[in-house]
Amino acid sequence: MLKLNVNNETSKLLVVVLGTAKSNGSAPKLEECYDPKSRENILANTYPIEIDMVRELSELEDVLVKHNVKVYRPEVINDYNQIFSRDIGFVIDDFFIVSNILPERSKEISAIDKVIDLIPKNKKIELPEDCHIEGGDVILHNDYVFIGTYSGDDYTSFKTARTNYEAINFLKERFPEKKIISFDLIKSDIDPTKNALHLDCCLQPVGNNKLVACPEAFFKRDQYEWLITYFGKENILEISLNEMSEMHCNFFSIDTNIVVSEKSFIKLNNWLRSFDIIVEEINYKEISKQGGLLRCSTLPLIRE
């Protein structure tokens, strides 16, 4: 059995589910895209191909194994996108919460049934049907749980609005000991520079109480100001909307002092190194063309 434990984004990683790009299927039609980055690359005829994405995920797996992380992979579903395992579920403390995600992605959870079967039944939580949430919108920071959302009346008109207040309220009731703070994010189905698909696309804690964030991705400035007050401006690397759309916030921490990052993120990687963080640089540009990166591809189950 797996004894789950995740309380933050940075403690030493022991067990993780890493997505797969095998039998990823053909490129979607324009009307089938459910994020603006994929749409942009379909229009530009630069949508990534399977062999390149399989190679990038293998490179990430090699780094994880190098650092003694136990890696589970999903069962392959033919012609189905299973790269972004982060969204299909998430762990808070020692509970596994099954996400209610886009109907187009509903099969993904079944591909990790063998892993979920290792979790005690009393440690699994299924959400009510009206609670929509994806794991990319959930960031743990010890006593805090940060959750990305969109509160506009036009919520249902956006394919990119993935987490609603019903889910946030459910988690507040289920985890009363946690300080759950929601952040309203900008949304666009068309322009990736005007869309924070998930919270981890525009905010991520790293190291010892440091933060990388995109101020303009927050719909309400006072919510971002709270982060400045909490973390301290001197501890925050602020990135632009363009950098956000290229996924500069979506690195992944293996430990407090070890981060996996895209090798082209020079400003970010140098900033991390300035705090004596080891940066494992890998190629991950092709996967970024689908609107996700390193954190999106990983579902941590156990950290120290």
Per-residue model confidence (pLDDT) at position 154: 87
Q: How far is CA 191 from the centre of its chain?
A: 19
Domain 13-303 CATH (choose: 3.75.10.10, 3.40.50.10470, 2.60.120.10, 3.40.50.1820): 3.75.10.10
Per-residue model confidence (pLDDT) at position 294: 98
Per-residue model confidence (pLDDT) at position 254: 98
Per-residue model confidence (pLDDT) at position 157: 87
Gap between the Cα atoms of 65 and 42, Å rounded = 33
Among 22-26, 103-107, 217-221, 242-246, the minimum mean pLDDT is found in 103-107
Per-residue model confidence (pLDDT) at position 75: 97
93-96 long-range CB contacts below 8 Å, 24 or more apart?
93/4, 93/5, 93/6, 93/7, 93/175, 94/3, 94/4, 94/5, 94/123, 95/4, 95/123, 95/124, 95/125, 96/4, 96/123, 96/124, 96/125, 96/301
User: Is pLDDT of 152 > 90?
Assistant: no
pLDDT tens by residue, 199-213: 999 999 999 999 999
User: Is pLDDT of 50 > 90?
Assistant: yes
Per-residue model confidence (pLDDT) at position 103: 84
Helix (H, G, I), strand (E, B) or coil at 63: helix
Per-residue model confidence (pLDDT) at position 156: 86
pLDDT tier, 134 (very low <50, low <70, confident <90, very high otherwise): very high
Q: Percent of the chain beyond pLDDT 90?
A: 94
pLDDT tier, 298 (very low <50, low <70, confident <90, very high otherwise): very high
Distances (CA, A) of 271 to 26, 158, 239, 276: 38, 34, 12, 9
User: Is pLDDT of 102 > 90?
Assistant: no
pLDDT tens by residue, 243-289: 999 999 999 999 999 999 999 999 999 999 999 999 999 999 999 99
- Mean pLDDT, residues 233-243: 98
User: Are the C-beta atoms of 175 and 145 separated by less than 8 Å?
Assistant: yes
User: Is pLDDT of 153 > 90?
Assistant: no
Per-residue model confidence (pLDDT) at position 64: 98
Per-residue model confidence (pLDDT) at position 182: 98
Per-residue model confidence (pLDDT) at position 104: 87
- Mean pLDDT, residues 15-41: 94
Per-residue model confidence (pLDDT) at position 244: 97
- Mean pLDDT, residues 114-137: 97
